[in-house]
Structure 1
Amino acid sequence: MQPVVLISGASSGIGMETAHLLAENGYTVYGAARRVERMDALKPYGVKTIGMDVVDDKSMTAAIKHILDNEGRLDILINNAGFGFYGAVEDVSLEDARYQMEVNVLGAARLAQLVLPGMRDRRYGKIINISSIAGKVATPFGGWYHASKFALEGLSDSLRNEVKPFGIDVILIEPGGIKTEWGPIAFDNLEKSSEKSVYKVAVTKFATAFRKTMDKHSDPDVIAKLILKAIEAERPKARYSAGYMAKPTLLMRKLLCDKMLDSLFLQMLK
């Protein structure tokens, strides 16, 4: 029996690559996004597309109901929908900050709430939360994005131990730099939010340094393959990481104290 998978944020990047890969490997895949038309490229691979907005409870509830009505179960949830709203903590409006948390944390949490009853009844399920190395190491001017990913990490750790007795795995994926729409959008927002800011000079230096690395970022299929590996592991790890600078960054977080990390980031702004 083919496992049934729901992937949020499947209209581009990691979500689209993962939907394609899982469909090719025999999974029944539902790709979800706000802009359904952007998932048309997935249809030839057998991916079933569905409209869903992770900040709209009715939309999420309807999407889960649709899948359960058609398939009778949902085995794997991949919480991939997310974005980065960058800017100095002082400059980003609380309205934008709340939206960042709604999309990156609360949307994932609500989808988990919706799928857990069925998973518990079958005593089987996997919830894959796409976090980031930004959930472990925080740079300047990404405070609200980092807050969302740090929160997703903590939420996943708690949830993992709550649902393990019911045969459900909760797995975190921590990508490094990946070639997606995320980077350009995040840093365009950063510069727009800082045009009249006291942080403008430092922001420009930070954004310039980031953009110089973008050609080195890994392709999204690196993370898609990692997700497939995590799903198919008999005893999955709590965390998997891959992508540009993922391993070195996480190792640096383990080895360096806060003062040393702060010094590295401040050097970038000089």
Structure 2
Amino acid sequence: MSSPSRAILLTGASSSTGRSSGTGKAVALRLHRAGWPVYATARQPEALAELEAEGIRVLQLDVNDEESMTAVVDKITAEHGSVGTLINNAAYSLNGTIGETPMDEVRSQFETNIFGLCRLTQLVLPGMRAQGSGRVVMMSSIFGQFATPGRGYYQATKHALEAISDSLRLEVDTFGIKVVLVEPSPVLGGFVPMSVADLGMSGQERGGVYDDFWRYFVDWHGAYRETEKPSGRGRMAVRAETVAKVIEKAVTSDNPKIRYRIGMPSRLLPRMRWTIGDRMFERFVRAFFPIP
């Protein structure tokens, strides 16, 4: 009997700006240097030249395009028998209020962060079941635990991912497949707008009743731009390399945790909410996060 596949399929290895950066890059490099066969993917594989130069296999994959997903899974299956580990990292953050964000943008958010992720997971499961083992790592967030103004639809996708992962874990355990959730605190340099224009909102969100809020929203996130010497709130954020180290544990552990909560905020806030109750926790959110 052949050994189970060790091949790792990583989505979202490039940033939304088309560069290999952030968590995806750090994960690809760490696992590759540990000797794992890593297939790093992005919508634009030319953005992964730095990873390719390291010897990492790079492939084109768009989680909104089933043909590209099927092609990648088929390629890895032909070379390794199946996908051994799927790391669902591809996602983006939609900025906008619940009442004003156009529904086509909301649908696009869910298509990328949830529906595409689910379909890719469906594509790798038959091979994992056939070999009697496999691992699916879901990149959630601290905001899969609670929500704040201005990013509610993005945070809703992370809440959905929590439920999907918990359900999937129970469904596939009998086949030797393990499902792991990773919940980082805010990552330095990740999803950080430099200006209101960088928020990528439609015209319906600009020039409206939330103008002051969006200016404050951008200023508030400035604490997470300083990746070298963060100050203030930025000191509670985590680095991409720290997240990559935890993901390596999630991939390599014989008995991985159900959830890996990275950074003090991600570990503390769920306990805090349970302890003080919803009303007091909402007071905390109002006091700490940007509120219109």
Fold in common (TM above 0.5):
yes
List runs of 5+ in structure 1 lacking aligned partners: none
Q: Normalising to structure 2: TM-score of the pair?
A: 0.86
**Pairing partner for 2:10 from 7, 21, 26:** 7
Q: Deviations over 1:28-77 (max 9, x none)?
A: 00001001011111123321000000011111111111111222221000
Asked whether 1:209 is paired with 2:220, we answer yes
2:97 is matched with 88
Q: Distance in 2 between matches of 1:154 and 1:185?
A: 32
Q: Distance in 2 between matches of 1:17 and 1:244?
A: 20
Letter in 2 for 1:196: G
Q: Are the aligned partners of 1:190 and 1:203 in contact in 2 as well (CA < 8 Å)?
A: no
Q: How does 1:161-200 map to 2 (within 5 A)?
A: 161-184=170-193, 188-189=198-199, 194-200=205-211
Asked whether 1:255 is paired with 2:275, we answer yes
List runs of 5+ in structure 2 lacking aligned partners: 15-20, 227-233
Letter in 1 for 2:254: E
Q: Are the aligned partners of 2:45 and 2:58 in contact in 1 as well (CA < 8 Å)?
A: yes
1:150 is matched with 159
Q: Distance in 2 between matches of 1:253 and 1:59?
A: 41
Q: Deviations over 1:115-166 (max 9, x none)?
A: 0001001110000000001110101111100110000110000000000010
Q: Are the aligned partners of 2:63 and 2:117 in contact in 1 as well (CA < 8 Å)?
A: yes
Q: Distance in 2 between matches of 1:235 and 1:32?
A: 27
Q: Measured at CA, do residues 233 and 58 of structure 1 come closer, stay the same or move farther in structure 2, by a change above 3 Å?
A: same
Q: Deviations over 1:66-120 (max 9, x none)?
A: 1112222210000000010011111211111011111111111111100000100
| Percent of residue pairs identical | 35
Q: Distance in 2 between matches of 1:209 and 1:13?
A: 20
2:36 is matched with 27
Q: Deviations over 1:188-232 (max 9, x none)?
A: 327766322212223333332232344323220101000001112
Letter in 2 for 1:149: K
1:56 is matched with 65
Q: Normalising to structure 1: TM-score of the pair?
A: 0.93
Pairwise CA distance, 1:9: 0.4
Asked whether 1:232 is paired with 2:252, we answer yes
Instruction: Answer with 210-219 or 162-171: which moved more.
Output: 210-219
Q: Distance in 2 between matches of 1:185 and 1:105?
A: 26
Q: How does 1:73-84 map to 2 (within 5 A)?
A: 73-84=82-93
Q: How does 1:33-48 map to 2 (within 5 A)?
A: 33-48=42-57
Instruction: Answer with 50-59 or 212-221: which moved more.
Output: 212-221
**Pairing partner for 1:97 from 106, 114, 119:** 106
Q: Are the aligned partners of 1:136 and 1:253 in contact in 2 as well (CA < 8 Å)?
A: no
2:182 is paired with a residue whose SS is strand
Letter in 1 for 2:113: N
Letter in 2 for 1:207: V
Letter in 2 for 1:269: I
1:128 is paired with a residue whose SS is strand
Q: Distance in 2 between matches of 1:240 and 1:233?
A: 12
